[in-house]
Amino acid sequence: MTSKECGFFIAELRKEDGLTQKELAKKINVSDKAVSRWETGVSHS
């Protein structure tokens, strides 16, 4: 799975749960910028 495919998967699951990037970030204790980077395939960490 490429980083873009993984990011798309994360975004789809997040949206299915009705969460914003900020809400997901708070739940998993990371920044909303990290979630954004994951979803766009910019970063794996």
What are the residue boundaries of the structural domains of the chain, listed by start?
3-40
pLDDT (tens digit per residue) in 1-45: 898 999 999 999 999 999 999 999 999 999 999 999 999 988 655
pTM: 0.83
What phi, psi does 6 have (nearest 5°)?
A: -65, -45
